[in-house]
Amino acid sequence: MNASLPEPSALAQSASRALKVRIAERIGKRRGWIPFSEYMQLALYEPGLGYYTGGAAKLGVAGDFVTAPEISALFGQALAHQVEEVLAATRSEILEVGAGSGQLALQILGELARRDALPEHYRILEVSPELRERQAQLFKAAPPDWARRVSWLDELPESLSGVIIANEVLDAMPAEIVVRSAGHWLVRGVVLDPEGQLGYQDRSASAELAAALRARVPGPGQLGDGYTTELNETAQGFVATLAKKLEHGAMILIDYGFPAAEYYHPERRQGTFMAHYRHRAHDDPFFWPGLQDLTTHVDFSALAAAARAAQADVLGYTSQSHFLLNCGILELLEGSAEDPSKWLPQTNALQRLLSEAEMGELYKVLAVGRGLSQPLLGFARGDRGSAL
């Protein structure tokens, strides 16, 4: 175990051990080895025990990480301006995938209400029972005219016209870790050592995975032995599925990541995988399985390609900083100046959202859609679509 990380409670440790038993059983059924993507799926989403399907707090001070809506309501209010533009050209319907604490939904609905532009429906698809309950409790205290528009789905709808929002969702989808060796790709897997501890073992990549890597990774000949990176076909497939279901409107994807040329840069030798536990980032995926978030950065070029393959249009790609500025976040900040007590904390929060040294540059926004003209509000200046 990683001695530098705080120890979980006895109850949490018991749940983690139960999950480890289930992972060990899966490894046994797979002849002693499973790909890292399968381990990540179990650690995050195994029913009742995975990080997102168990009962542990995830967001905020008591959790493991903080997302933009928890930093400042200005984030959701600015995003609402982009949502409003799309809703005006489509049916009045929003689907948020992975709504976290529910704060983003609350912020968007609040700003749309202020602008007399509330949607008919705000639907949420949430796999985490703990987060779904937090969202429900939040909307019990919301104005009734907002709350009545909110409903929860257990699966994706057959079709949708309006806006799909996914904020920090794709980074937690199971990815393969791959390693370059002697001019070939190895796929990283998970095994049990003689003492019953989880560990890595690399094997030759399948022909299908090697072909997918050839299609995605530019200039693999520049990558030396030991070069480690990821391929997330789950995220690509999810975007393609959403794009096919979107009859008219836009999908707005917000996450940390890069276009392919940066994602697979020769100097990014250690890949992007990270674990998050109690607001500390580290690289040990086996630290108390089920009690920490496991993530990889997003390859936005791959997402754009998946959307295009589903006959959707790429409507814009830019940094979070440019997107929020285009959507009027500074004007929203000026509006909060009427209450002096909010000015300093809002300014500090805005610094975190916009600064290149914090979230402003690392986080990107990709919009794909169908039946809409360009450019969208959030990409009017600083669009980087040519980099995809």
Nearest of 356, 368, 348 to residue 71 by alpha carbon: 348
Query: Has residue 57 got a pLDDT over 80?
Result: no
- For the chain, domains (ranges, CATH) are 18-43+173-232+262-295 (no CATH), 68-170+235-261+297-387 (3.40.50.12710)
Least confident of 6-15, 42-51, 132-141: 6-15
Task: Answer whether 0.75 is exceeded by the pTM.
Answer: yes
Give the angle subtended at the CA of 266 by the CAs of 260 and 272, to the nearest 5°. Answer: 65
The whole-number pLDDT of residue 248 equals 97
Q: Higher pLDDT residue, 309 or 349?
A: 309
| CA–CA dist 45, 237 (Å, integer) | 17
Which pair of tokens denotes residue 237? 């497939």
Start-end of H helices in the chain: 10-29, 36-45, 68-71, 73-87, 103-114, 129-140, 144-147, 207-216, 233-245, 260-263, 300-309, 320-326, 329-335, 340-354, 359-362
The whole-number pLDDT of residue 278 equals 84
φ, ψ for residue 384, nearest 5 deg: -120, 30
Output the average pLDDT for the chain. 93
Please say whether the beta carbons of 321 and 40 come within 8 A. no
| CA–CA dist 352, 200 (Å, integer) | 35
Nearest of 366, 256, 323, 299 to residue 74 by alpha carbon: 323
Confidence band of 337 (pLDDT split at 50, 70, 90): low
The whole-number pLDDT of residue 153 equals 97
Which pair of tokens denotes residue 96? 């948020």
Please say whether the beta carbons of 124 and 211 come within 8 A. no
Q: Higher pLDDT residue, 57 or 369?
A: 369
Query: Has residue 61 got a pLDDT over 70?
Result: no
Confidence band of 346 (pLDDT split at 50, 70, 90): confident
DSSP, collapsed to helix, strand or coil, labels residue 320 as helix
Query: Has residue 4 got a pLDDT over 90?
Result: no
Nearest of 171, 169, 74, 68 to residue 126 by alpha carbon: 169
DSSP, collapsed to helix, strand or coil, labels residue 96 as strand
Confidence band of 12 (pLDDT split at 50, 70, 90): confident
